[in-house]
Amino acid sequence: MNKFIERIALAKLDGSLLKVINHIEKNDLVIFDDFGLQPLDNNSRLALLQILEDCYQRKSVIVTSQLPVSKWYDYINEPTLADAIMDRLTANAVRIELKGDSMRRKNQK
């Protein structure tokens, strides 16, 4: 997500936003890792919605997050876009919640 947010910001500045979104959408699998660590600006919210809309029921999307799903709506921080994004993320989702210690911690022992 951090690189996604940065890439969207730069693409907006240099006029290549649509090209970046189209490039991401061409993948059969899109992974948003560490969702919720960095604040979303409006351009990132809109790009995320566009990607999720275009991928919906046609491509696979994986979202990983340490932020509980119950807090995602507040993280998105814009009610209309949060409704639309959450609808696309959860409508046909398979949700897996992991419990226990981090694998990184276990591997250090």
Q: What is the pLDDT of residues 58-68, one digit of tens each?
A: 999 999 999 99
- Tell me what percent of the residues of the chain surpass a pLDDT of 90: 77
pLDDT for residue 17 is more than 90: yes
pLDDT score of 100:
77
pTM value?
0.86
Q: Would you put residue 48 in left (φ > 0), alpha (ψ -120 to 50) or beta?
A: alpha
Is residue 102's pLDDT more than 80? no
- The yes-or-no verdict on residue 105 having pLDDT over 80 is no
